[in-house]
Amino acid sequence: MVGIVIVSHSMKLAEGVKDLAEQMADQQLKIIAAGGMEDGGIGTDAMKICRALQAANSADGVVVLADLGSAILSAQTAMELLDEEYGSLISIADAPIVEGAISAAIQASIGGTLTEVIHAAEEARGLLKL
């Protein structure tokens, strides 16, 4: 099953998105929150993200959802720290963090491939609320 990592500048935000996505997901799905700095402050930490990627690891891959541009940069740095073979199983979705995480969790829970989970997350960009 494809794992999911939520990268946010805020641990509270990452944990909240994780909690929402878990409500829609299979209990076996690994959704890992990687928010904030090690000291609890606001920011992103490539080593913290690297550990989250490893925790979410499965033979099916990992999808990363991030809140802001520098979270993407930190996620990319974390991916570079992993060995090349595993790094190829990680993709960053260009998706809204909340809606994308929920869509990704649903698709991963029904056995979607890495490509399908990314597509589901990215499709969330077009969801209308009104």
Q: Which residues are catalytic?
A: 9
Q: Which residues contact 13 (CB under 8 A, 6 or more apart)?
A: 35, 67, 97
CB neighbours of 37 closer than 8 A, spacing ≥ 6? 43, 44, 45, 48
Please report, as a single letter, which amino acid is at residue 77. T
90: amino acid identity, one letter? I
Contacts of 84 (CB under 8 A, 6+ apart): none
Neighbours of 2 (CB within 10 A): 27
What is the enclosing helix (H) or strand (E) of 32?
strand 31-35
